[in-house]
Homo-oligomer: A and B are copies of this chain.
């Protein structure tokens, strides 16, 4: 039995935190802490619960602006005030011992010397638990907070990101692992022959180095990437060790898995050098019906007028003229909008019997991949994803906290452990250990 369990592929689980729930109605759910998103004591307790449940990582999303949205939606947004990732994760590093800490940081609106330093520092402070979610920042509002009138176009952002990655990893390798001698007798603190001056001069960046910090415990913090576009997939194949993706179905997951993992050999990487962890919204109930009812309750807390636009976009049709409390008409005129998006909405409306209002609230709340059911049905679904190579695990999106997190930590995780799909305890101390990733060799010192 134990032997059989060992043969099973293991799930990897991140907690995708914004820094609490991505769902726009989460803060209003009965029993939720309305200020949790901006309350360190709550976030600390969530991180400690995730660690007790042996999650691989606490993964923090980020934005570099207050999102530009109509005032009716804006004033309902519980993420308008958020902690900055480096400061929050460094505080969490001091009150946790094992869980990985992944921060989102932009290559478009920051400097590689700062980014390399802060991640190296977080990795040292946490004993090797840092990860860098590389983003190029898609939100054009950010540009105007950083002295730019125009947001750079997509290809340009990705070219800079690729060079930025080379510079940051080069800076992390400024010192050999054994550079620091600290010989009190002779007074020699380190060996300058084991310090590398990067002296990078590229198309976008000019950075001399060396970094003023020892090589991170993990060699390099774990590289996370979320691009879905063609340049995003290629950047991921070349650089990413964790890919955060958003397929809505197992079929879509398998397609993405095959495509991105298939690019690895060409760049000299192993299939196990990258873990694919899609976002998964998880709602647990004692029965499937109870879980579905929880979700409908949560969705009902989303403001209808602010979310109807999301439904219109998904449908390719102005949904604001429809009867909110009636069913979605099946004979909407065809438009040029995405056929698959429209079919998805129609299928959802039929499967769950949702009204126009409920559909809008679903799209305004959270409409990505979701596992809604009992611990058994959800564990079944998760298992299928890894057995069928749809993913290597998930970045869990919690519907509401603390209850939604407690349901996963206290009920789903034990079920996954019983099935031999998830660790009983951490086997190592670093995020690389948890993810089964190699420690990269130093580019300049062997």
- Chain A interface (Cβ < 8 Å from any Cβ of B): 25, 27-28, 34-35, 38, 40, 44, 63-66, 71, 74-78, 80-84, 86-88, 90-95, 109-111, 113-114, 117-118, 120-122, 124-125, 141, 144-149, 175, 180, 182, 184, 187-192, 195, 205-214, 301, 303
Copy total for this chain: 2
Q: B residues within 8 A CB of A74?
A: 192
Q: Are B81 and A175 in contact (CB under 8 A)?
A: yes
A-B contact pairs, 26 of them (CB 8 A): A27-B182, A27-B184, A35-B180, A44-B94, A63-B212, A64-B212, A65-B208, A66-B212, A75-B190, A76-B188, A77-B189, A78-B189, A81-B180, A83-B125, A84-B120, A84-B213, A87-B87, A91-B93, A91-B125, A92-B94, A141-B208, A144-B206, A146-B207, A147-B207, A149-B206, A187-B303
A361 and B40 CA atoms in complex are apart in Å by 46
Q: Are B34 and A182 in contact (CB under 8 A)?
A: yes
Q: B residues within 8 A CB of A182?
A: 27, 34-35, 78
A301 and B207 CA atoms in complex are apart in Å by 34
Q: Are A88 and B125 in contact (CB under 8 A)?
A: yes
A125 and B118 CA atoms in complex are apart in Å by 17
Determine which residue in A66, A190, A214 has the highest number of CB atoms from chain B within 10 A of its CB, and name it. A66
Q: B residues within 8 A CB of A83?
A: 121, 124-125, 213
Q: B residues within 8 A CB of A80?
A: 189-190, 212
Q: B residues within 8 A CB of A125?
A: 40, 83, 87-88, 91
- Besides A27-B184, A81-B213, A113-B145, 19 other A-B contacts (C-beta < 8 A): A35-B182, A40-B125, A65-B208, A66-B210, A75-B189, A76-B187, A76-B188, A78-B189, A80-B189, A81-B180, A83-B125, A84-B117, A86-B86, A87-B87, A88-B90, A88-B125, A113-B146, A149-B206, A187-B301
Report which of B145, B148, B212 forms a contact with A82, defined as CB distance below 8 A: B212
Q: B residues within 8 A CB of A64?
A: 113, 212
Query: Shortest 3 CB-CB distances between A and B: which pairs?
Result: A90-B90, A84-B121, A94-B94
Q: B residues within 8 A CB of A148?
A: 206
Q: Are B86 and A144 in contact (CB under 8 A)?
A: no
A248 and B79 CA atoms in complex are apart in Å by 50
A92 and B206 CA atoms in complex are apart in Å by 33
A73 and B209 CA atoms in complex are apart in Å by 18
With A28-B187, A117-B84, A125-B40 known as contacts, the answer to whether A205 contacts B147 (CB < 8 A) is yes
A110 and B115 CA atoms in complex are apart in Å by 11
A80 and B180 CA atoms in complex are apart in Å by 10
Cβ distance A89 to chain B, nearest Cβ, rounded Å: 8
Give the residue name and chain of the B residue nearest to A93 (CB).
B91
Determine which residue in A44, A95, A187 has the highest number of CB atoms from chain B within 10 A of its CB, and name it. A187
Determine which residue in A87, A147, A213 has the highest number of CB atoms from chain B within 10 A of its CB, and name it. A87
A190 and B73 CA atoms in complex are apart in Å by 11
Q: B residues within 8 A CB of A25?
A: 187
Q: Are B187 and A121 in contact (CB under 8 A)?
A: no
Cβ distance A259 to chain B, nearest Cβ, rounded Å: 34
Q: B residues within 8 A CB of A180?
A: 35, 81
Q: B residues within 8 A CB of A111?
A: 109-110, 146-147
